[in-house]
Chain A
Amino acid sequence: MHSNGFFLKDVAGFLGGYYSCIAIMNGIAALILWRKKGQVGWALVWTALAIAMMVLASLALSASPGMVPALPASVRSLVNRLSGPMIYTLGTFALLAVLFVFRSFFVKPMVAWGILNAMLVLMGLSMADENFAAIVMKPDNVPIVGLVFLLAFFTWLATKQAVVNDDRIARGLPTVEKENDEKVLVWPDLVYTELICMVAVMAFLLVWAIFLPAPLEEPASSVKTPNPSKAPWYFLGLQEMLVYFDPWYAGVVLPSLVVFGLMAMPYLDFNKKGNGYYSIEERKFSYLTYQFGFFVLWITLIILGTFLRGPNWNFFGPFEYWTPYKVEVLNNVDLPQMFWVNLLDQPLPKAPAGASGLVQAGYVLLREAPGLLVMGAYLLLLPPLLAVTVFRGFFAKLGLVRYMVMANLMLLMLTLPIKMILRWTLNLKYIISIPEISLNF
């Protein structure tokens, strides 16, 4: 639970190497900037950082509890206390919004380099915490750490190109892609590059498999489920979705909608701009929709499922010990219960004993009337309403059929965050709940 000598001895070697790597990285960056001239100020900044990292590395290698650089305990407990699924999701949402709005600031190379350094140092400091290290250094979870950094890098790269292009378009210049549209031959240029990449990745995977082997566990048993029981990392977003929905919806309908939605994209996209070059300004709607679906509804959920969901699928702060005895007081309520019992203060409509199937069905429909009405309004009334207000231009350009497909895909995608927020705020379990026929929404 708390940092002890044994743990620190284990992690000290790693941290020493880790901080040294950051130092070397910054040293090289400083050298390159120094050679370029004109960037001397930044070169000095990174040199100073490299020296600071060397100091941290030697402190970490001391492996004594007072010396290893770590976050203060008060900060860690504050982070633990603040973190929760609600804050996490809304926080990532806000973070992405900030990154989007101020993208022309964040794509500056020096700013990005500073953020990368901050991320690395923060991770190194957190790593001195036993609970954090136990989760992050688990062989299963290492790829997710890589994913965080790789995704950040590639998103930054694409955004940078888009920002540059947007700027050029605004000034009436041709895009970068148009200006240097030098083409290379598939054979041999591309094929050789691919071959080299293939060999390099293979070698990398072999080394990885040797140093971080997959854990061997006890034989599988249908009556013994590991706690926590986690899907493969790429399905952890789906597993998180399953917390809020019935399996038929979160496990079948929503994933299929993702696939069909991606397939429908070429038919729904009437914007001919941005074809063959990076641009955000010219395709804001497509860009934001995609990034929302990909980052907020997929990647951040994977990260949440990997690092923050512990035993019994409870939410744990990043520095919290994963105890299977954590008590979270939840009492989820269905919408019919809320409506009939809590609001109207009367029992749920229930068919009298011995009623025929038809009468029972009628009572079930009456019981579920609020949920059915809400869902009906959401899926049937909202699209036309949006067509005459927010999406007026879209409706004109897409036509009825394509507009309805697009609007329904959007609305169904939004069911996930809406339901998540309703669960956290109102403890709402299901909007429509007909367990008699396993239909819950």
Chain B
Amino acid sequence: MVKLSRRGVLSGLGTGVALAAVPAWAQGHSLHGRGHSRGGPRIPAGFGELSGEVIDLTVGSGHRIVEGRRGPGIAVNGSVPGPLIRLREGQNVRLNVTNDLNEDTSIHWHGLLVPFHMDGVPGVSFPGIRPGETFAYEFPVRQSGTYWYHSHSGLQEQSGHYGPLIIDPAGAEPVPYDRDYILLLSDFTVLDPHFIMSRLRTGEGYFNRQQTSWTDDYPLSGEERRMWAKMRMPATDIMDIGAPTYTFLANGRGPTEGLEYLFRPGERVRLRIINGSAQSFFNVRIPGLAMTVIAADGQNVRPVEVDEFQIGTAETYDVIVEPGSAEAYAIVGESMDRSGMALAMLASRPGARAPAPPLRDPPLLTMADMGMNHGPSEGGGHVGHDGMDHGGGAARAAASAGGMDHAAMGHGTPAAPAATAEAGGAMAGMAMGGHSMEGMDMRDTSLLPPDVKVGPGVDMVSMAPVDKTGDPGLGLRDVGHRVLNYRMLAALEPNRDTREPSRLLEIHLTGNMERYMWSFDGRMYSAVSDVPIRFAWNERVRVKLVNNTMMGHPIHLHGMFFEIVNGQSPAQQPRKNVIIVQPGASATFDLTANEPGDWAFHCHLMYHMHGGMMQTVTVVGPEGAV
């Protein structure tokens, strides 16, 4: 029995009671989803493997039991996660997907380069798969690497509709290894996901059991607490949903349910880590072992050795580890809010176990996460320096210069001169006022470009958003070991298109925590479903995402890889399909629009996407017909 923590144990009780006390109709079961019953057959954890030119998949419902708790299940081929689909680069594949649910379903092949109408997004790429129907996805396999698949219908992903997808390269693997394992991280809940969605809208902070209180242990002064209250923002909203609502899973198993990977000392083990969760970020580490990252989102990168990395929802990282003489090593996927962890073991013999480390203290948001990026407060200042990349020396120089933070200067927004100028002025005010928020306008909408719709859906405007591709992520800014950040990634195989982008597209991530509205440029998908982001054929565009919210958003573009603008040369900018935009910060990618059709573009936090943070991207084909 793995001991998790006082927090985990205590809160486990809460949800059990909740279920008993809240009648079914009040849990939202009947709101608008019929596929999430807790009845039906039991769906086991774990997965088999399928390969070949023709693969048959069936989506069905049932129930899952994780650590003794029973929850709704939607499974592909009867397991959660669904079966490993193992393909080879260069083959053709036909995937017949049969829907045994009583509601529509779909499968989106996350990260795969497919014709747009095979991408599996109902309402964008195809009509969806109706109950009882079989849909045949057919496409050539044009790439290799670690990917996954999941439902793009309703909230089915939360209930288990996801699985791993691996494509072996036509040529040789870039690095040698002895064993090849998949670690698919996800989040389990006994609740109907429609109930979760409803509570996120109606009960602010409903799923957060780590809120500030008179008796908490957070290192916050009274002044800081009043400041957060004044802003009507929670410093503790790290993930929206944490334990005990969620149990974090490794390949469908809870932390005490014994997922293990066997090794012999001295072997090189490839771990393909997939964040297949609905709404969770994980901080992944293996105490006692370094990890060499060799691929991100399926694309090979120059090997880089780290001790921990944050994996945003829907990201994948491949790492090589070389277990030594210890009998076992714990693979820890600690949720970013540190309310729980997914756990697996590298074991030298079946049953060998290493102790799981205790949960670390939950992180808090800082002023930097509101886009203030203002000096001496530890978190912000530190991140600011990370964000600099003038060389470490420059950052130190800045720090020694009276604690002034370069990043604080806000220059992240070359596209918005007025914004930057005003931010500069604002900074001065702040500097004079010490760390306090006195006189700060946390929603100065004049900082937004005119194409952002200002309204109730925008509760914050980042004052001085800076590029934080150098930020390791919330909670990892001050750990005493090597943590991955996007600046450390470089494409192994050079990018084919290294043209300088011909235009800049700036997209603002906007939201209202209280109303749980999420959007791009202030407009929820409901308002822009017929207003796509448009690209010309083969157009090379630099896309800058500016986060005006206090949450990190893993932004996913379907159908194409983009290259993160992270300080590498255009040829070496890492290819990804998900980019985390840190709270109050910006992140930029370059895109060659060479996959014609309509594509979904959205925050991969499922409840944020359903909260409105989604838009369609239209790439006009070479014939200009689309």
Report whether chain A binds chain B. no
By a beta-carbon cutoff of 8 Å, the part of chain B in contact with chain A is none
